[in-house]
Structure 1
Amino acid sequence: MRRRPGVARLRDQSFNRLIPNILTLLALCAGLTSIRFGLNERWEAAVVAIMIAAILDALDGRIARLLDSTSKFGAELDSLSDFVSFGVAPALLLYFWNLSEVGAPGWVAVLLYCVCCGLRLARFNTKLDNTDLPAWTGRFFMGVPAPAAAGLVLVPMVANLAVGPGYFDSPWLAGLVAVVVAGLMVSRLPTYSFKRIKVPQHFVLPTLLIVGVLAAFLASSPWLTLLGICGLYLCSIPLSWLSYRKLAGTGPASPAAPPPAMDEADLDEHDELPPR
């Protein structure tokens, strides 16, 4: 039977080249599963599912480049997965947790966060072909990346899990955090792209030791450790802004520097959009 003209077909692929897309689908499933846990009020499991989605998202783009299996299909799939796992899922978790108690204002905060996440991903997609900016701008993201935003917006829930009810479980606090994080996602504030950091040779062993200690803290006091990680990330934002201004050769009172952009050689934004 002759194939109809104009009908595209997927080419045969080895299993290894499918691994990045499989990881992306697993991240999507983890994000959707966190929503299910939220419906059942299993908040600890819901936060862990978001963490698993973030880890898988950090791996898929890197593995795609290592296996030389980048494709437009994988890039689009990853973008959709990020919107669900780091946009829709965290916002719905907060709504199930306590934002529903305040009615319309809580739902407005949820919608605003989701819309800003979608706008961020769409803006990133349009920046992929921009090769006019200096290479050093690839060290920065424009605004807070989606996985980091998912962690920040869940800070009130994580703090409540760490210290117990009565301190951070106010729906107005959760709504305010959601609005602020939504603004950070679509802002033009430079933030560090940690994937571009190179570890000097004499710091390799100390770095591995720090990772081991961090894993031990996550196993023994996961919620306080997550709060500490989020706090360190927030502290890095002013430093990234100062570093960007210094590299741009401008001072605080000088005209604004060009916005940070992605390096074509390293397209995934937090692996927000790995080129597969």
Structure 2
Amino acid sequence: MPVDPKNPEMRRRRFRPIPVRMLVPNVITLLAICAGLTAIRLSTEGRMELAVAAIVFAALLDGLDGRVARMIKGQSKFGAELDSLADFVNFGVAPGLILYSWQLNELHNGGWIAAMVFAISGGLRLARFNATMDDPNKPAFAANYFTGVPAPAGAITVLLPIYLGFLGLPKPPAMLTAFYTLLIAFLMVSRLPVFSGKTVRMRVPPEMVLPVFVSVIFFIALLIGYPWHILSAGSVLYLLSLPAGWKSYRDHARAAAVPSATPADVASSSPATPFAAVSESEQDDRPARLN
């Protein structure tokens, strides 16, 4: 039989059109990459304040793209991979180069090694996150914790010496800045449980809507008017809160390791026994963790 090239079945199959809602989160991620690359350029030109502001802007966009994707149901595998690439550039490479241009270059090879270790640690942390994201052996409560300091938080906290310099404080020794950079890099690749807040319910009671609006506007005004004060205080408070996240994770792990009571034990024990109290608290907390 002769083959008709005009037959629709013989035509090349084309890709289906992509909805616009799938593109919006990726555009936000691309804007974040542009901000990170611009921060690198600004740091090489000596405009450190704008460079740091670009990193902060990239961090805000990073927190926005995922929430927008979930809100408009625009999640995609492409978007997840693009987001990981953006995090490596914005929160691994860019902060390391900014610190090197600001002070680490005084140590020559030693400063470059510190900046390079930080950038590589950011990439390794992201690779581990992607590899363990769908781990079926994770306990339910582990979804509320990061393993190690997340890349955006690491990028914001590692720039603390620069914030303090913008406040007029004397520049610390280059060796101290290099040690601090390596410390944050270690926290990023460590197994330290860090509270993420992903499972915290984001619903606001009706009577609290206006106070929440006022609080958000007030915080944004403070960040614009006193950026280095807010970033310095936020970085210090975040580092001080890390032991609290570790303790909370250990408490959840101990509670999950307690063996559940058998029906015979429940029938023979009173509600005031420790096993009954633990069982009731676990039952009350489980729906909240799953939701």
Partner secondary structure for residue 132 of structure 1: coil
1:164-211 CA-to-partner distances (Å, cap 9, x unmatched) read 4xx234322221111000000000111110343336637665544433
* Cα distance in 2 for residues equivalent to 1:242 and 1:54: 27
Cα distance, 1:116 vs. partner?
Answer: 0.8
Residue aligning to 2:269: none
Q: Does the 8 A contact of 1:192 with 1:236 survive in 2?
A: no
From the two aligned structures, give the one with the greater helix fraction. 2
Query: Percent of pairs identical after alignment?
Result: 45
Cα distance, 1:216 vs. partner?
Answer: 2.3
**1:179 to 2:182 alignment:** yes
**1:99 to 2:104 alignment:** yes
Cα distance, 1:213 vs. partner?
Answer: 2.7
Residue aligning to 2:93: 88
- The structure number with the bigger radius of gyration is 2
Q: Structure 1 pair 8/74, CA: closer, same or farther in 2 (3 Å)?
A: farther
Partner secondary structure for residue 141 of structure 1: strand
Residue aligning to 2:75: 70
Relative to the length of structure 2, the TM-score reads 0.79
Cα distance, 1:65 vs. partner?
Answer: 1.5
Partner secondary structure for residue 167 of structure 2: helix
* Map 1:1-276 → 2, pairs under 5 A: 11-164=16-169, 167-198=170-201, 201=205, 206-249=211-254
**Aligned pairs, number:** 248
Mean CA deviation greater in 126-135 or 101-110: 126-135
Q: Which amino acid aligns with 1:177?
A: Y
Query: Can you give the 5+ residue segments of structure 1 that lack an aligned partner in the other structure?
Result: 251-264, 267-276
RMSD of aligned residue pairs (Cα, Å): 2.5
Query: Can you give the 5+ residue segments of structure 2 that lack an aligned partner in the other structure?
Result: 7-11, 256-289
* Cα distance in 2 for residues equivalent to 1:186 and 1:17: 31
Partner secondary structure for residue 98 of structure 2: helix
1:67-124 CA-to-partner distances (Å, cap 9, x unmatched) read 2221111111110110000000000000011111111110110111111111101101
Q: Does the 8 A contact of 1:87 with 1:150 survive in 2?
A: yes
- Structure number with greater CO (CA < 8 Å, separation at least 6) is 1
Q: Which amino acid aligns with 1:101?
A: E
